[in-house]
Each structure stands twice: as C-alpha cells, then as structure tokens.
C-alpha cells in the first residue's frame, strides 16, 4: 500500500516561524480575506504585512523605552 505508515507526525511549522516573525501571519491572512479588501489575497501579502507591523511595533517600543524628553506638537496649547 502507498502512503505513510502509522507513527509520529512531524510538528507543524507555522508561516510565522518560516518567515522568522513573531506576528501571526495566518491570523493576518484570515483578517485580510474576511475584511474583503480584495477578491483574492496573495500568499505573500500577509507575510509582508506581518513583517511591516512587527517592524513598526518594534520602532514604537524602542521610542518609548528611550530616556529622552517627550516632544509635544506645536499645535497643542499649554
């Protein structure tokens, strides 16, 4: 008979792990499809979007952790 014999299965590898990301690529892809942003969503779109979101989150965290005075916009009255 063709096919695999019964036994231990390999653990599934997520697309986030394959791309080396912390953000959930599968969930972002599901949201893109569910949100009806386009008729079809390519396989690379959620990976790219997850990478961009992860980068932006890292930048915000780095800015918040740096010990410098916060700058208020000039349009805000005191």
Alpha-helical (H) ranges within 1-78 are 15-19, 25-34, 45-65
**pTM for the model:** 0.74
Q: Which DSSP category does 68 fall into?
A: S
* Residues 53 and 74: beta-carbon distance below 8 Å: no
Instruction: Kindly indicate the confidence band of residue 7, based on its pLDDT and cuts at 50, 70 and 90.
Output: confident
* Residues 51 and 19: beta-carbon distance below 8 Å: yes
Each residue's pLDDT tens digit, 19-76: 999 999 999 999 999 999 899 999 999 999 999 999 999 999 988 887 776 655 555 4
* Residues 50 and 24: beta-carbon distance below 8 Å: yes
What residue ranges do the domains of the chain occupy? 15-60
Mean pLDDT of 3-20: 88
Residues 15-60: name the CATH superfamily: Histone, subunit A (1.10.20.10)
Mean pLDDT of 5-32: 93
Bigger pLDDT: 1 vs 4: 4
């Amino acid at each position: 008979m063709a096919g695999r014999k019964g036994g231990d299965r390999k653990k599934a590898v997520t697309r986030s792990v394959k791309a080396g990301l912390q953000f959930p690529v599968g969930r972002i892809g599901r949201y893109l499809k569910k949100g009806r942003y386009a008729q079809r969503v390519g396989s690379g779109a959620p990976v790219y979007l997850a990478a961009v979101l992860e980068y932006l989150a890292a930048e915000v965290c780095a800015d918040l952790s740096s010990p410098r005075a916060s700058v208020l916009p000039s349009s805000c009255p005191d």
